Amino acid sequence: MKKWLVFVLLVACGDSREARLQKFLLKGNLALKERNFEQASYYYGEAIKVEPCYADAWNNLGTAYFEQERFDVAHEYYEKAIGCKPDFINALLNHANTSYELKEYYKALADLERVAQLKPDTALVYFTQGLVYTRMRAFDKALQALDRAMAIEPENPDSKVNHATVQYYLKNFDQAREELEVAVKLKPEEPNIYNTLAMIETETGNYSAALSSIEKALSLAPRQAYFLNNRGFIYLQMKDLEKAEADINESIGLDPYNAWAYRNKGILMLERKDYANAERLLRQSVDMDPFVDKIYFYLGLAFLNNGNKLSACESFKKSEEIHDGMVTPALLKACP
């Protein structure tokens, strides 16, 4: 996700109130740039003591916490900035980003709609909408939003990669590959290109090519939690459970809030016939993010193997409703 910082130059002189505000803000910005978050927070706090409704300071204080992945605190401070300055575009975008990280997708969309009203030609608004709709599995809306982003910034490789990722989710694999070929010409060292290629090859059963692509992604972004989790999933499909477990556990260690990693660990437990732990992990995944791909199918399998046929059938029906394409006719027939 992209973040926005407000850097205000020190233009006033003397000990005026405005000069003090700018001095504290500038010192905070310099500390934030150096990732000295404690010092940055101190200076922003001093500015807020001078002016309790200083929107720039509240916004940048939020960003200091966002950079530390303390999203709940960042969210609160961005709200303070917006409360002081309702049309503050940077704070609205930052608040949308934080809502996305907190999986509060409707709040993110509301912020983005407000920015679109204020400044409709902002590509970043539609790009971020595309990310949110992708997380919500509203893939048609995601494509529309990303199309609008690319119409404003045609050469933005990030929009193209995310557009290709949506094509992957829609199982338009050839189209996704074509779009990634365009993206790689624009930004050959973008690791998400190779991660998406790995996902495509996994879905089509070409695990050797999938491993090659995910290794390329990891060579560009070592210890990236999402990539490690995806490599773990590839190993799961190859039935190499030890390597799968090592990658998934490392991914969770790096990012304990990734619902996809708990889904994959739940699948690992299904493979090991440890159905009690499979159900626990898959429940945890769906509680963290109900939009995780194929989560209801795997949760249904866990319920079924734990003798809870009613809950299994409810999960299988949810899987069918969102068109996962995983539930077999035999499983559906067994449900009332």
Q: What is the pLDDT of residues 250-300, one digit of tens each?
A: 999 999 999 999 999 999 999 999 999 999 999 999 999 999 999 999 999
Mean pLDDT of 112-135: 95
User: For 131-143, what is the mean pLDDT?
Assistant: 95
Q: What is the pLDDT of residues 17-68, one digit of tens each?
A: 888 999 999 999 999 999 999 999 999 999 999 999 999 999 999 999 999 9
Residue 2 has pLDDT above 80, yes or no: no
First-to-final CA distance of the chain:
44
The pTM is what? 0.86
CA distances from 259 to 179, 239, 251, 252, 309 (A): 27, 21, 11, 9, 24
Mean pLDDT (the chain) is 93
Domain spans of the chain, in order of start = 13-116, 257-336
| pLDDT tens column, 201-252 | 999 999 999 999 999 999 999 999 999 999 999 999 999 999 999 999 999 9
- Tell me yes or no: is domain 13-116 CATH 1.25.40.10: yes
The neighbour count for residue 312, using CB atoms within 10 Å, is 21
Q: E strand or H helix at 154, and its extent?
A: none
CATH of domain 257-336: 1.25.40.10
Q: What is residue 324's predicted lDDT score, i.e. its pLDDT?
A: 87
Question: What confidence score (pLDDT) does residue 15 get?
Answer: 59
Asked whether 183 and 161 are in contact (CB, 8 A), the reply is yes
Helices (H), 102-138: 105-118, 123-135
pLDDT tens, 188-204? Answer: 999 999 999 999 999 99
Cα separation of 187 and 193, whole Å?
9
